[in-house]
Amino acid sequence: MPKCVLKILRIILSGFGVVGQSFAKLLLSRSEDLYAKHGLKPRIVGVFDSKGSAASSAGLDLNRLLEMKKKYGNIRKYHNKERDANGLDMINGMDAEVLIETTPSNYKDAEPGMSHIVSAMKKGLHVITVNKGPLALAFPSLIELATYNQVQLKFSGTVGGGTPILDYAKNSLRGERIISFQGILNGTTNYILTNMAAGLTFKAALADAKKKGYVEADESLDIDGFDAAAKLVILANWIMDMKVTIKDIERTGIRDVTTGDVKKAAAHNCAIKLIASCNRDLVVSPREIALDDPMCVNGTLNAITFNSEHSGQQTITGRGAGGIETASSILRDLLDIKQEMSRIEIA
267 and 191, same domain (yes or no): yes
Give the β-pairing of 178-184 and 301-308: antiparallel
Beta carbons of 229 and 216 less than 8 angstroms apart: no
Q: Is residue 255 part of a domain?
A: yes
Number of domains in the chain: 2
Q: Is residue 35 part of a domain?
A: yes
Question: 19 among the known binding-site residues?
Answer: yes
pLDDT at residue 67, rounded to an integer: 96
Question: 16 among the known binding-site residues?
Answer: yes
pLDDT at residue 3, rounded to an integer: 47
DSSP string covering 239-286: HH-----GGG-EE--STT--HHHHHHHHHTTEEEEEEEEESSSEEEEE
Residue 63's φ and ψ, nearest 5 degrees, are -65, -45
Q: Is residue 5 part of a domain?
A: no
The interaxial angle of helices 187-197 and 259-267, nearest 10 deg, is: 70
93 and 213, same domain (yes or no): no
The secondary structure of 103-146, three-state, reads CCCCCCCCCCHHHHHHHHHHHCCEEEECCHHHHHHHHHHHHHHH
81 and 114, same domain (yes or no): yes
179 and 192, same domain (yes or no): yes
CA 347/CA 342 separation, integer angstroms: 9
CA 238/CA 160 separation, integer angstroms: 14
156 and 171, same domain (yes or no): no
189 and 284, same domain (yes or no): yes
pLDDT at residue 81, rounded to an integer: 52
Mean pLDDT per block of 10 residues along the chain (347 residues) reads 66 96 96 90 94 92 96 84 75 97 95 98 98 97 98 95 87 87 96 97 96 90 97 96 96 97 97 96 97 96 94 90 88 94 75
CATH, residue 110:
3.40.50.720
Question: 132 among the known binding-site residues?
Answer: yes
231 annotated active-site? yes
The interaxial angle of helices 18-38 and 62-72, nearest 10 deg, is: 170
pLDDT at residue 104, rounded to an integer: 93
CATH, residue 191:
3.30.360.10
Question: 161 among the known binding-site residues?
Answer: no
Q: Which domain holds residue 60?
A: 10-162+324-345
Q: Which among 86, 16, 84 has a CA at the least distance from the CA of 44?
A: 16
Exactly one of 7, 69, 154, 231 is catalytic; name it: 231
Question: 264 among the known binding-site residues?
Answer: no
Question: 18 among the known binding-site residues?
Answer: yes
271 and 289, same domain (yes or no): yes
pLDDT at residue 2, rounded to an integer: 43
